[in-house]
Amino acid sequence: MGAETRRGTPRPRTALAGLAVAAAAFLAFAPSALGAAGDLDAGYGTGGFAKLGAGTALNAVAAEPDGSAVAVGTAGANTLVVKFDSSGKLDKSFGNGGVATAGAGELSSVAIQGDGSIVAAGDNCTQPAFCTVGGMLVVRFTDKGALDKSFGTGGVVKALPTGRAFGVGVGPNGTVVAAGDVKFTDTFRRIAVIRLDSSGKLDKTFGTGGGAIVDLGPDSSAKSVAVQQDAKIVISGSIGPAAKQVVNAFVARLTSKGALDASFGGASTPPVSNVPGVYFYFHPVSGANSTLNASVLDPAGGIAAAGWDSQDVQRKAVFVRLTCAGKPQAGFGAGGVKG
């Protein structure tokens, strides 16, 4: 997690950034890791790393049951999807020699559907930090790396002008949920979530015309999304009071219709805020920044989220564990937080 540059403009990374990091993280899923637990698997790629050439950047990775991995990002100004086999080599049966693209833009998140289809989300903004031209982008590929022509327009969905997607998740009945942010009427950005049906059309039963704006204040953004079996949507990310002076982390849950779920959250660490539908994490030292860039659902119905906070320009990892009701999980770290 950090910052990268595309076309000269910095933007936040929202998942695993850079293929070397993505490959190392993927080792946790590899079926035949060698050496002590936590060591790099020397049999994967070259010395435990798989790499692409200069001019490429990968932002997110998803593991397949057979030990292969799909990663997404950019190659120059174009979207990039690559597949590696379980040994860290490009899977030549995928796309063009292991590589596929959906045209101009950047992909920031990826998920695998039950039939092996690959959904990815990002944006095609010409100025990603501001996104005055372009908007949210969702694409779907077959398991062989071809754009799925039955989804959107030739496999591509463009939505929410000035919007950016940093997270994507798969919901019931083949639905796809993308979350990020969009420029609001006051010029600051707000959390934006869209839901698509299995054919890539905006689901009109969700939010307003298929999209929901979650206003937690200026400079708010969702960095990840996870969809429950009951179609409720969990998002995590950061909020700010405008102009990014201080940014704090959150986890929120939306109903299947796109409204904040009042049965969730209403808690914070430390306990200074009570907003139904939202859990907040505030760094205990005034003036610090924090964000939760990834979140997953556990089998018991709880939520685990990870990110960072910073003080005096130093960052450290933060892990949060919540109950299914969005309250800090007793027994995990200090008040549900480890960092």
Task: For residue 284, say if its preceding peptide bond is cis, omega within 30 degrees of 0.
Answer: no
- Residue 17 CA, chain-centre distance (Å), reads 11
The tokens describing 179, both together, are 């979350």
Q: Per-residue pLDDT averaged across 118-146, rounded?
A: 94
pLDDT of 186? 85
- Quickly tell me which residue has 């993308």 as its tokens: 178
Query: Residue 301 in contact with residue 311, Cβ under 8 Å?
Result: no
Sequence-ordered list of residues with C-beta below 8 angstroms from that of 37, at least 6 positions apart, any chain: none
| Amino acid of residue 104 | A
Please state the length of the chain: 339
Query: Residue 125 in contact with residue 108, Cβ under 8 Å?
Result: no
CA atoms of 195 and 203, how far apart (whole Å): 6
Report the 3 state secondary structure along the chain.
CCEEEECCEEEECCCCCCHHHHHHHHHHHCCCCCCCCCCCCCCCCECCECCCCCCEEEEEEEECCCCCEEEEEEECCEEEEEEECCCCCECCCCCECCEECCCECEEEEEEECCCCCEEEEEECCCCCCCCCCCEEEEEEECCCCCECCCCCECCEEEEEECEEEEEEEECHHHCEEEEEEEECCCCCEEEEEEEECCCCCECCCCCECCEEEECCCCCCEEEEEEECCCCCEEEEEEECCCCCCCCEEEEEEECCCCCECCCCECEEECCCCCEECEEEECCCCCCCEEEEEEEEECCCCCEEEEEEEEECCEEEEEEEEECCCCCECCCCCECCEEC
Say yes or no to pLDDT of 34 above 80. no
Higher pLDDT, 146 or 41: 146
Each residue of 274-331: pLDDT tens digit? 999 999 998 877 557 899 999 999 888 899 999 998 877 788 899 999 999 999 999 9
CA atoms of 109 and 240, how far apart (whole Å): 23
The whole-model pTM stands at 0.88
Q: Per-residue pLDDT averaged across 27-55, rounded?
A: 76
Share of residues in the chain with pLDDT > 90 (%): 70
Give 61's strand partners. 71
CA atoms of 277 and 87, how far apart (whole Å): 43
Higher pLDDT, 243 or 54: 54
How big is the CA angle at 285 (ends 282 and 288), to the nearest 5 degrees? 70
Each residue of 246-285: pLDDT tens digit? 789 999 999 999 999 999 999 999 898 899 999 999 887 7
Q: Per-residue pLDDT averaged across 88-106, rounded?
A: 97
pLDDT of 242? 58
Lowest mean pLDDT among 47-51, 69-73, 149-153: 47-51
When pLDDT is cut at 50, 70 and 90, the band that residue 32 belongs to is very low
Say yes or no to pLDDT of 14 above 90. no
Lowest mean pLDDT among 13-17, 104-108, 195-199: 13-17
pLDDT of 244? 55
pLDDT of 283? 80
Say yes or no to pLDDT of 23 above 60. no
Share of residues in the chain with pLDDT > 70 (%): 86
pLDDT of 259? 98
pLDDT of 121? 98
Say yes or no to pLDDT of 29 above 90. no
The average confidence (pLDDT) of the chain is 87
Each residue of 138-164: pLDDT tens digit? 999 999 999 999 999 999 999 999 999
Phi, psi of 21 (to 5 degrees): -70, -45
